[in-house]
Amino acid sequence: MNPGIVNEKAFRNEVTKSRKIPPMASTFARLFPMMMLPTERCVDFMELAKTEREKRHVDTYLNDPNIVRRYTLRAVMSLVSTPPPSSIAELNIPAMFLAPRNDALMSVTYVRNLYDRLPPIRKKFLEIDGSHFWINSHPREAAKVICDWFSETLT
């Protein structure tokens, strides 16, 4: 769910409109590579939660002491600047994209664009009536969708 190629300009535009890697981050990363950046600086998880059920999941996550809460600026910039090992057009395994209509992080249009760039492989695109945490807030429905896809493609 929520596929993205994080070094692509289109992905960065999606993320930037919703939040927050400052334009000067690459300069800061060169000067202060070990500076720690809180995850909440990049993503406002509560903003992504649209229902009370999702907000409870996010609250549990945010209060879990085992969750990594900070990353070095160097690691964050590496994530958004390192290209994938090959082009999405070279993917040769079945792929299913789930695109929530109300995702504050990525638009259905962006995810559909990625899907359309896939080669002629076995693929499926599902627009979900939900938000970023749809899988968390609808675990049975999500499990059925995913297990059905595996049943279709692993036989």
**Last residue of one domain, picked from the residues 81, 108, 141:** 81
Q: In this structure, are 52 and 103 located in the same domain?
A: no
Residues near 31 by beta carbon (within 8 Å), at least 6 away in sequence: none
Q: How confident is the model at residue 147 (pLDDT cuts 50, 70, 90)?
A: very high
Q: Is residue 58 part of a domain?
A: yes
**142/148 Cα distance (integer angstroms):** 10
Decide if 125 contacts 94 (C-beta within 8 A).
no
Q: Is residue 23 part of a domain?
A: yes
Domain range spanning residue 118? 88-153
Mean pLDDT, the chain, whole residue set: 84
Q: Is residue 102 part of a domain?
A: yes
Determine the average pLDDT of the residues in 149-153: 94
**3/105 Cα distance (integer angstroms):** 11
Residue 18 has pLDDT above 50, yes or no: no
Burial class (CB in 10 A: 0-12, 13-18, 19+), 68: exposed
Q: In this structure, are 143 and 96 located in the same domain?
A: yes
pLDDT in tens, 126-136: 999 988 888 88
Q: In this structure, are 76 and 93 located in the same domain?
A: no
Domain count, the chain: 2
pLDDT in tens, 4-15: 676 677 776 666
